[in-house]
Structure 1
Amino acid sequence: MMKKYLSNLNLYILLFFCFFIYSFGLSGDFLFDDYPNLEPLGTYGTIDSWDKGKNFINSGFAGPTGRPISLASFLINDNTWPSLAYSFKYTNIMIHLLNGVLLCWAILLLLRNYNYKEQQAIWIALIASSIWLLHPYFVSTTLYVVQRMAQLATLFTLIGIVGYLKARLLLPYKPLQAYFYMAISIGICTILATYSKENGALLPLLVLVLEFCNPNKTYKPIWQWRALCLWLPSFAVLYLIFRKLNFSEDLWPNRNFNQVERLYSEARIVTEYLYHLFFPQIEGRGLYQDGYLVSKSILQPITTLYSIIFLIGLALSAFIYKNKYPLFSVAILFFFAAHMMESTVIGLELYFEHRNYLAALFLFLPVAAALYTLKEKIEPKLVYFIIVIIFSILSFFTYERAKLWGNTDELLLYWAKNTPESPRAQSTIAMTLMEQGYILESKQHLEQSLERMPQSALLNMQLLLQKVSYGIATEEDFKLTTERLAKQPFDAQAIQGLRVLTEGIIANEQQCIRYCQFTLGLIQHLDQHAGYNKISVYRRMSPYLQAKIYLAMHQESLALASYYEAIKRYNDVEAGLMMVAELGTHGSAQNALNLLNKVNEVYQQQDVSKLRRSKAEYDMEIPRLKKVLTDQIKSNSDR
């Protein structure tokens, strides 16, 4: 009892210490994907009703499920936008600590199921979960607000594993109760984890790994139950993942790699993940991963071949030594299984640290077990000294990294300077120089970066944007930008730059006189570019931007025709109503009414489940707008 009390006390001290270290990162701001995911908090004003809350929860676009549980969790911190990052980061830290507690419990239950002695199980569980909890690699997941999605998927996965392992211990005594609770734990938690982030669907496969590595064959779930509750959902998820196998050359027009190149590259990346997990550092690659070197073949670069051999050897050893070293096999096979979705054939960006948050849960089990074995063979005080050294290094690195994350400007510049091959990083440096008033230096930096990275559409568009914003852009600059874009691969951020360019010039009449026609020509030229025409976001946006430019140029008939085409491509009543408002504000009421009628046609055909607001709201809003525009037309005709 005394040892259990001391173990609990050690865990509480660890949690408090971990929070203290992470608290230095609370002063950081929002980053990158935080903005598009959280801005809908303010789309319809303050979220103060169920309908507005539901609209936000259903506004997700980050994955096929929309991740509504993760979005709902953000309402804990605020119900409007703009907001402050502090409370969001605080909640993320609390979730990280809770995950640490659940991991400790899960390991303890795992070892009990594997027939480890209680004292040994407690000791290993505490050490292994402490390493995971204090590891600097997970600072980027915890302090990057939007990665709460990865945290919640891990949270529900851990709850499912705990529930399964706890119920499994009942098999010798209450088998029916055990099967029921095991099934419930896996079923409910898989759903909750998946609707937090899609890789939560891997929970049955991860439990299958734990079951496969279990050396205790005395009490094992019957094969019928395993087939129904573990094998069937695991194969279903793997089928959904690997049915995307497609080795065609131009599978992903918005990526600079195809599927074969992605698989080759991921071999190097997963190897790098493992290296950084076992040899931690203060700050890694950060979020500027667009410049990561793609493996063009198994020998280019040669580290691709070395990585493939290493990973195959690691996987084989996990199978070969499963009975002799079950914790080693659990660590490796769980890690690989958890990477099945994000590090194989799906066309995601190549490299992100947060993909290891779930995958590394049991990775440090062999380390803790080895330390326990060592404790029995040499002087225990020496082993405790080694543990203190390990914890001290991890704590120091995590503290330094959290402190860096607490200063967003410094963090972004650190990443930018340490990733010279990243266009996004160089874009950040140029923007920082411009914000500090170094206009010429910013322009020179972009031009030099473009010389090194001529394929970057992002840097190309940013250079034009900066010249336009300071009124020094010429027709030649627009022509040069157009020529470069025609040769450069699609870049979503470059397209966002095109939107910013359009919004900027139409807001200023003098800017529009100088640049509207040039910008229109640029967009129309891209319409003929095969690479851009394949991208749905650009196909929708192109006629919309053209409509706004025509409207600013007082060519209302052309604007109306472009708005018609935009509504057809968006096929969304909310987007259509926004266009009606623009045309009604800056154009004639009659054309706005004609456009509203077109929007109403879209509304009548739109799936009710995909509406951003309730059907009742649209049933009131569309007739109200129609009456306002009709009254305005009558008023104008009476004058």
Structure 2
Amino acid sequence: MLKGEHAVRRWQQWAGLSLIGLLVLAIYWPGLSGAFIFDDYSTIVENSRLHVATLQPSLIWHAATSFDPGGTFGARPLAMATLAMNHAVGGLNPWGYKLVGLLIHACNTALVWVLINTLLAAPAATVVLKDRTRHGAAFAVALLWAIHPIQVSSVLYVVQRMETLAATFMLAAMICYLRGRLCQIRSGSGWPWLLATVLLTLIGLLSKETAVLVPVYALAMELTVLRFAASNPSVARRWRGLYSVAVIGGLVVFVAVVVPHYWSDHYLARNFGTWERLLTQLRVLPMYLLQIVLPTPGNLTFYYDNVVPSRGMLQPVSTLLGGLLLLGLLATAICTRRRAPLVALGILWFFVSHLLTSNVIALELAFEHRNYLALLGVLLVACDLVLRAPAAARQRVLPAAVLAILVGSAGLTLIRSATWGDPLLLATELVVENPGSARASADLGAMYFGMSDGYANSPFIDMAIGEFERGSQLPGASIISDQGLILTAAQSGRDVPSIWWDRLVSKVQTGTLSPETTGALFSLLENRYKGVALDDRRLAEAFRALFKRTTLPPYSYAQVGDYAMLHAHDEGLADEMFVQAIDNSVADPGYARKVIDALNRKGWHRQAELAHARARDLGLLAEPVAAAPAGAK
């Protein structure tokens, strides 16, 4: 190609990417006016450690480790640091958080375009393509990936910045891997690119653990479009040996370490065990495929808390049918690995994308955002099929069909974005599309209550109570709607029927203890501190029932102990809670010392003595800690 032609082609590519970026911004822009939702509250709104006032590095660093699950990479410090920066600039205005999420998605779209372009340039990827055809195919795939309706809940659901930011580094890592390997295939040295792959993967892990899948994506590319090839035979042998060792080692670690660690007949805080979770994924993965192929509002419901776990291959029968479909897809990938490697890669890509979330880890059964990268696998299959179509069809029929799909997807996504931009419309839509979701019901009830503006006789209070009552009686519903009922009545000055407390306590005693259960109870406690008149006897009863069934971090017990002294006036409960806080501080002796010091400062000397004695018995007091004054009560 002549230099001038090359410059023109490069300009056209940049113009195409700019057009994609503008389209993405325009389609998602109506959704920026939406509110926080679901896990946004626990991760951002209620997470005081994230609420930094300035961009001072020390404050950002502290906030970066404020993600509760924690762990080696589980703290997700890079993603949390960016959320803290958002707070420093705009407080808790959701608009700025959503804008950053949208910009990350636009960046990822450009990376997808580069990745597809690079993939299609691999000698074994597909039929021989002209540059113009390859760039056009990459353009269509990247655009459809960016504006597909299933992506809305990844882009506009703020907390999923962890997913999308990790994807940024994963996509960049895979581009570097492909370029490095193509250099080796074409007689060049690809090691600088491959070293960049490692670095980008490690950075991705700081956003979300999903980045650990980069080597598995790389294996999928080797099995299909790269085929462990290299111009130097010794390099090719080393790649085969490396992947053989990695696969064997990974399987050993999975069977010997991961499965024993996570396997459970009944997960804590879930209504299913490991085997039931794995069976359910045989239905969930085909559901994802349907959502990708047919992304209508009825198929994209955001909340999936009412997905019923599979109890056997025929309970329900769709478990078996889904398993057969997935088995057929894997067989297709094996059979087409040589003849249509891009089809095989697309199928493997989809499965790799769900390797963590559809495995033995005790996660929730389904979420749309888990398809953020998985969608690309389906589009790779479609791309290969289009490129292999007869020339006449590619020139006459397929362009119009592709354009129709792009326009249709853009329209559906624009509508969904606008819905996400209106909190009441979104809450109503989620209930209409999934009336069996207790979470959707609780959102709508809370929206009605917010619209009452605190007026006790507002009709919105009655609407809120009606929706909370409906949601509280849904099969398998947590206490979140019961909590909403109690708070709505108490904050509006109405009587709280004892049946509402009875139902809440009964669910805590016998129901599934999900994170929503503890969150709802502590929300009641926080509202009590804010002056909301609640029945302290029943709230204390609920906490006693909770702590009989589960173990929480030590500060949770200290918080309830404080409440027992200040509001419930139940010193027996306070004694139990502060001693339990010490019991759970074995891994953090410093916290035990803080509890004892705080009790002494508040003058709660009997509780300080009990806590001090327990800490001494557990060997947590390496240095002397002041006990209560002699004779103090």
Establish whether TM, by shorter chain, passes 0.5.
Answer: yes
Q: Which amino acid aligns with 1:422?
A: S
**Secondary structure of the residue that 1:360 maps to in structure 2?**
helix
**Secondary structure of the residue that 2:150 maps to in structure 1?**
helix
Matched, 1:519 2:566: no
TM-aligned CA deviation for residue 45 of structure 1: 4.9
Report the count of equivalent residues. 604
* CA–CA distance in structure 2, aligned partners of residues 249 and 218 of structure 1: 42
Query: In 1, are the aligned partners of 2:108 and 2:167 still within 8 Å (CA)?
Result: yes
TM-aligned CA deviation for residue 46 of structure 1: 2.1
**Secondary structure of the residue that 2:365 maps to in structure 1?**
coil
* CA–CA distance in structure 2, aligned partners of residues 172 and 43 of structure 1: 47
Could you say if the C-alpha distance between residues 466 and 29 of structure 1 is closer, same or farther in structure 2, counting changes exceeding 3 Å? Answer: closer
Question: Kindly, what percent of the aligned residue pairs are identical?
Answer: 22
* CA–CA distance in structure 2, aligned partners of residues 222 and 186 of structure 1: 18
Structure 1 counterpart of 2:66: 59
Structure 2 counterpart of 1:305: 320
Matched, 1:12 2:7: no
Q: Which amino acid aligns with 2:284?
A: I
* CA–CA distance in structure 1, aligned partners of residues 530 and 212 of structure 2: 46
TM-aligned CA deviation for residue 333 of structure 1: 0.7
TM-aligned CA deviation for residue 557 of structure 1: 8.2
Structure 2 counterpart of 1:615: none
Partner deviation per Cα, 1:289-310 (whole Å, 9 max, x = no partner): 2111222211122211111111
Mapping 1:278-293, distance limit 5 Å: 278-282=293-297, 284-293=299-308
* CA–CA distance in structure 1, aligned partners of residues 51 and 21 of structure 2: 39
Q: Which amino acid aligns with 2:115?
A: A
Query: In 2, are the aligned partners of 1:338 and 1:359 still within 8 Å (CA)?
Result: yes
TM-aligned CA deviation for residue 30 of structure 1: 1.9
Could you say if the C-alpha distance between residues 234 and 31 of structure 1 is closer, same or farther in structure 2, counting changes exceeding 3 Å? Answer: farther
TM-aligned CA deviation for residue 390 of structure 1: 1.6
* CA–CA distance in structure 2, aligned partners of residues 172 and 555 of structure 1: 74
TM-aligned CA deviation for residue 52 of structure 1: 2.1
Which of 486, 503, 517 pairs up with 1:494? 517
More divergent stretch after superposition (191-200 vs 60-69): 60-69
Partner deviation per Cα, 1:258-283 (whole Å, 9 max, x = no partner): 11221121111111111121222257
Structure 1 counterpart of 2:393: 378
Structure 2 counterpart of 1:430: 445
Gapped regions of structure 1 (runs ≥ 5):
608-618
TM-aligned CA deviation for residue 201 of structure 1: 0.4
Q: Which amino acid aligns with 1:213?
A: T
More divergent stretch after superposition (287-296 vs 213-222): 213-222
Structure 2 counterpart of 1:270: 285
Could you say if the C-alpha distance between residues 58 and 456 of structure 1 is closer, same or farther in structure 2, counting changes exceeding 3 Å? Answer: closer
Partner deviation per Cα, 1:209-260 (whole Å, 9 max, x = no partner): 01110276763642324443x4555555555555443697643031111112
TM-aligned CA deviation for residue 573 of structure 1: 7.4
Structure 2 counterpart of 1:613: none
Query: In 1, are the aligned partners of 2:334 and 2:344 still within 8 Å (CA)?
Result: yes
Query: In 2, are the aligned partners of 1:124 and 1:365 still within 8 Å (CA)?
Result: no
Matched, 1:442 2:464: yes
Partner deviation per Cα, 1:403-447 (whole Å, 9 max, x = no partner): 111112321221123222111122223333333333344334444
Which of 340, 343, 355 pairs up with 2:358? 343
Structure 2 counterpart of 1:88: 97
Mapping 1:226-625, distance limit 5 Å: 226-228=240-242, 230-233=243-246, 243-245=257-259, 250-282=265-297, 284-374=299-389, 376-378=391-393, 380-435=395-450, 436=452, 437=458, 438-453=460-475, 456-469=478-491, 470=493, 472-473=495-496, 478-505=501-528, 507-508=530-531, 511=533, 515-528=535-548, 532-533=549-550, 535-536=551-552, 541-542=556-557, 544-553=559-568, 559=574, 562-570=577-585, 572=588, 587-588=602-603
Structure 2 counterpart of 1:614: none
Could you say if the C-alpha distance between residues 379 and 429 of structure 1 is closer, same or farther in structure 2, counting changes exceeding 3 Å? Answer: closer
Structure 1 counterpart of 2:455: none
More divergent stretch after superposition (354-363 vs 478-487): 478-487
TM-aligned CA deviation for residue 29 of structure 1: 2.0
Structure 1 counterpart of 2:209: 198
Query: What TM-score comes out, normalization by structure 1 length?
Result: 0.83
* CA–CA distance in structure 1, aligned partners of residues 89 and 594 of structure 2: 20
Could you say if the C-alpha distance between residues 577 and 149 of structure 1 is closer, same or farther in structure 2, counting changes exceeding 3 Å? Answer: farther
Could you say if the C-alpha distance between residues 508 and 138 of structure 1 is closer, same or farther in structure 2, counting changes exceeding 3 Å? Answer: closer
Which of 194, 199, 204 pairs up with 1:188? 199
* CA–CA distance in structure 2, aligned partners of residues 83 and 606 of structure 1: 40
* CA–CA distance in structure 1, aligned partners of residues 300 and 527 of structure 2: 33
Query: In 1, are the aligned partners of 2:176 and 2:194 still within 8 Å (CA)?
Result: no
Matched, 1:152 2:165: yes
Structure 2 counterpart of 1:131: 144
TM-aligned CA deviation for residue 19 of structure 1: 1.4
TM-aligned CA deviation for residue 345 of structure 1: 1.4
Structure 1 counterpart of 2:39: 33
Matched, 1:223 2:223: no
Partner deviation per Cα, 1:478-511 (whole Å, 9 max, x = no partner): 44543343232213222222223233345549x4
TM-aligned CA deviation for residue 139 of structure 1: 1.4
More divergent stretch after superposition (413-422 vs 317-326): 413-422
Matched, 1:102 2:111: yes
**Secondary structure of the residue that 1:78 maps to in structure 2?**
helix
Query: What TM-score comes out, normalization by structure 2 length?
Result: 0.84
* CA–CA distance in structure 2, aligned partners of residues 601 and 426 of structure 1: 48
Q: Which amino acid aligns with 2:168?
A: L
Q: Which amino acid aligns with 2:237?
A: W
* CA–CA distance in structure 1, aligned partners of residues 347 and 39 of structure 2: 30
TM-aligned CA deviation for residue 3 of structure 1: 4.8
* CA–CA distance in structure 1, aligned partners of residues 60 and 570 of structure 2: 39
Query: In 2, are the aligned partners of 1:241 and 1:346 still within 8 Å (CA)?
Result: no
**Secondary structure of the residue that 1:322 maps to in structure 2?**
coil
Partner deviation per Cα, 1:70-125 (whole Å, 9 max, x = no partner): 11222443327842222222222221121111111112222222354342432322
RMSD across aligned positions (CA)? 3.7
Query: In 2, are the aligned partners of 1:63 and 1:197 still within 8 Å (CA)?
Result: no
Q: Which amino acid aligns with 1:68?
A: P
**Secondary structure of the residue that 2:184 maps to in structure 1?**
coil
Query: In 2, are the aligned partners of 1:431 and 1:442 still within 8 Å (CA)?
Result: yes
More divergent stretch after superposition (340-349 vs 35-44): 35-44
* CA–CA distance in structure 2, aligned partners of residues 379 and 226 of structure 1: 37
